[in-house]
Structure 1
Amino acid sequence: MADNKKEKFLEYKGKPLVRCGSTIYYGNMGDPYVICLRILSDENVKGLKVSGKVAIQLINTDPTVTSPKEKIIKKSEKDGLFNALDLGAVWLERALKKQ
Structure 2
Amino acid sequence: MSDKKTGKNAFLMYKGKPLVRNGKTIYYGSMADKYVVMLQVLSTKPYQDMEIADKVLVQLMYTDPEIRARDRIVKKSEKEGLYNALDIGSIWLERALRDQ
* TM-score (structure 1 length as normaliser): 0.91
Q: Structure 2: which amino acid aligns with 1:74?
A: K
Q: How many residues align?
A: 97
> Where in structure 2 are there 5+ consecutive unaligned residues?
none
User: CA separation in 1, counterparts of 2:59 and 2:68?
Assistant: 16
Alpha-carbon RMSD across the aligned residues, in angstroms, is 1.5
Runs of 4+ with >3 A deviation: 2-7
User: CA separation in 1, counterparts of 2:17 and 2:82?
Assistant: 16
* TM-score (structure 2 length as normaliser): 0.90
Identical counterparts, % of pairs = 53
Instruction: Tell me: CA distance 1:3–1:83, structure 2 relative to 1, closer, same or farther (3 Å).
Output: closer
| 1:18-43 residue CA offsets vs partner (Å, 9 max, x unmatched) | 00000000000000000000000001
User: CA separation in 2, counterparts of 1:94 and 1:6?
Assistant: 27
Give the greater-gyration-radius structure (CA): 1
State the 1:79 CA deviation: 0.2
Partner residue, 1:21 = 23
State the 1:64 CA deviation: 2.0
User: CA separation in 1, counterparts of 2:69 and 2:44?
Assistant: 30
> Where in structure 1 are there 5+ consecutive unaligned residues?
none
User: CA separation in 1, counterparts of 2:9 and 2:42?
Assistant: 29
